[in-house]
Chain A
């Protein structure tokens, strides 16, 4: 007589220590004694940091009031930021004219959304709007003409000026960078040498010295009577600086395009500019978009340096607030606020770049 089991043995549940919350904990937090020690130390540090941060910025913070005397709690005095909010956002832009800036923001946001997201099938129209029409509208709106009150650039400031600096610089730097990158890969030695010289010179020195150069030496280089205001000088410096970095990014993209593409274009009878514009650049720019966004994040952070040459960007307006005699001793609040503002923008852009990278990444993934 053989003992043969005919029906299947019922499946046993997986061990409790391997699955569910306990399994996850064991695997990810307490896999060995070193890991356990690390976990406990890390939890302690995280707890300390989080609790003090939350009690500083929310629980013990002061949100209501109008003067420093209203800040009675031990935490942050956000009243300070609230009281100067208009200035932090627009600088000394006349209060009655700030709607113009807001219209510019709204139009820009709509244009950006249409170009960057997937809602529109053809991106030709939004792109023309964003890169050709929008800058003209903004120029008219912000500086004032056609019946609008003229606002001098010395009155521009705050987050508004930061955004203007970043967008104009990228607007100039991207085409200039493409030209420089093409020049660097040109087969004409003279063109190549000039481009390499410019790119390496600019990349080898700090932005601050380029800005100093733009603000001190540009007036010297201009003929008599030609006068640039401070904003234009800073814009020239920032644009040239980021163009050099952009050129290297685009060069990376150009190098990734196989040589066969150019040869195929040539064999079709396309000339240099046709094959570049129709075959090579669309592919090269597409793969370098994430890197371009990263360069733009760097450029956006670098706009803070204009405060050193005396422009009133977000950082310097907020910093000026800390020396206001009614609001002394609030440096922490001021810099935390600026840091948070920049963080939101930069983090958003970096997430966008990651999203884009995944979208463009059509190859095999592990």
Chain B
């Protein structure tokens, strides 16, 4: 793809800028769609209809209207806030989640950057989100925000360990950290996907990854950093208008990022489940997005079904359940590979 773009524009810089912008072009409409989907999914689960009027068919334009409203809103910064940090925080959060897209292979022909350390890079760069959240919570000069920020910092940092360990299980089998390579190894029919290899250890690793990723993106049952019934709105209590929208965008971008990693690492990424049927670079995008959206749907499903856990229970799950099991999986797969 880079070659193709370099050929067209005759300049590497232009080509790379375009490559870098493509995920953004994807994320913004996707976030609009996902917000709308969340409202519809929750509504239908709860015997309601959700938005029905804006735009005509099933209120499809509702989130567009919401964004326009948010853009027009007054940008309120609390008088006692740390203004610089307060301004910067939402962008850092978004950068953290957006940077992860650089190493996500959308198709066999398109990946932002062919990194040999793809998975490693994603895990590392998405930690930047924590900095942004802490900044947001601290700078708002609001105790509830601070509670939320502290909770989310503790939560995200702890859950990175089971996440990384469960991904490591696959990396051991694949022998590479490059996501594009991992995807290529899973081509063919769906039984070639890593989730079914070394059964059941990778499957357990997948479950660990999924639970941990829910916590990393602050979704129910682990949405305690922004638990609206406890902390009002957590770290973004004091944000309004577009800055609030940035947090939202980052949250939905993050949701897709973790879903995309799940599908790339465990479920064959852009590979068609049925061998050569509907495969190829363009179909690859379709399969990749479809798998990602499926996980997003599952995340929504869980959110509107389960209650929320408590901080100490959350830590318990991370340190005493997920982490030991992830180690166990790595250990078992290691032995299997040696035999």
A binds B: no
Residues of B near any A CB (own CB < 8 A): none
A interface vs B, CB < 8 Å? Answer: none
